Amino acid sequence: MRSDPLAPLPMPAQGLAAPPGWAATARSRTPWLWWSGWAALALTLPLLVLLVVDGRSFNGVSVWLKPWKFHLSVGVHLLTLALVAAALSDAPGRQRALGRLSAVAVVTGVFELAYITWRASRGEASHFNVADPMAGLLYGLMGVGAVLLTGCAGMLGWWVARDRRFASGPVLQRGLALGLLAGWLLGTLTGAVVSAQSGHWVGGTPSDAGGLPLLGWSRDGGDLRVAHFFGLHAMHVLPLVAWAMARWLPPRRALPAVTLFTVAYTGWTLFTLLAAWRGQPLV
């Protein structure tokens, strides 16, 4: 057993780029993740139409904006898990474990999207909605589902870190491992802080109407969604940074640079959380 699961591995001769068969492997190894991710993205198109033709609003914006954003986010998340799963080397029992992980991610992702879309169709809040016992129960289940969904990323990150035969080089391996683990930990932490409140605004106007375009983040007060966004997307930012560093730096420099960037990114995410808690907008 390796004493340091994130320690560099010998770099294979094929270099730093992702193997060209990642997409094909993702389709065959984790088909439910792959096709569910694409289905979620495909559903953003009819939701976009509803954004235009349905004039109803909630919190100052279209009732369909939140379902549109969540379909986009969950779709990207599921496809990310599928692609990372495809990067793993074969190991005894891995396919069965990936099947279980796929089931958890797809079920929780679909439940979250279905609940958010159903509430939006009624012009009602999905998050922070505890108006009656049933609403409180469903909101709680959505929170549990969100924790499990991000937990799938953390599990994959651990498997990447422990993979002795990872084929795309030690720098990308470290970036993927740290990115997925950071996305899990920071996403769960910031999500828990948001869920513990009665809303995501801290001071300022409790409306998305005057917020940042598309994102909706408050511009006259704190908004806890900012830190949650950065926390979750560590699983995308850190691997991309690692990929870039692997192209321009030798491994002995790129590896510590990836670790240092992870520390800086974590600090930035916690800074935005503290700023929002103090009622300060990002912009």
**pLDDT, tens digit (0-9, with 9 covering 90-100), for 3-50:** 343 333 333 333 333 445 778 889 999 999 999 999 999 999 999 999
Do 235 and 182 meet the contact criterion of CB atoms below 8 Å apart?
yes
pLDDT, tens digit (0-9, with 9 covering 90-100), for 208-241: 888 898 898 999 999 999 999 999 999 999 999 9
Do 105 and 33 meet the contact criterion of CB atoms below 8 Å apart?
yes
Within a 13 Å sphere around the CA of 169, how many CA atoms are in the beta-carbon half?
A: 23
Q: Vertex 83, ends 82 and 86: CA angle to 5°?
A: 90
Q: Vertex 192, ends 105 and 283: CA angle to 5°?
A: 105
Do 202 and 221 meet the contact criterion of CB atoms below 8 Å apart?
yes
Q: Which pLDDT does position 2 carry in this prediction? A: 39
Residue 30 CA to residue 102 CA, distance in Å, equals: 7
Residue 30 CA to residue 208 CA, distance in Å, equals: 37
Residue 92 CA to residue 140 CA, distance in Å, equals: 36
Q: Which pLDDT does position 82 carry in this prediction? A: 97
Q: Which pLDDT does position 199 carry in this prediction? A: 86
pLDDT, tens digit (0-9, with 9 covering 90-100), for 174-199: 999 999 999 999 999 999 999 988 88
Q: Which pLDDT does position 173 carry in this prediction? A: 96
> How many residues comprise the chain?
283
Do 200 and 224 meet the contact criterion of CB atoms below 8 Å apart?
yes
Residue 266 CA to residue 213 CA, distance in Å, equals: 25
Is the pLDDT at 245 greater than 60? The verdict is: yes
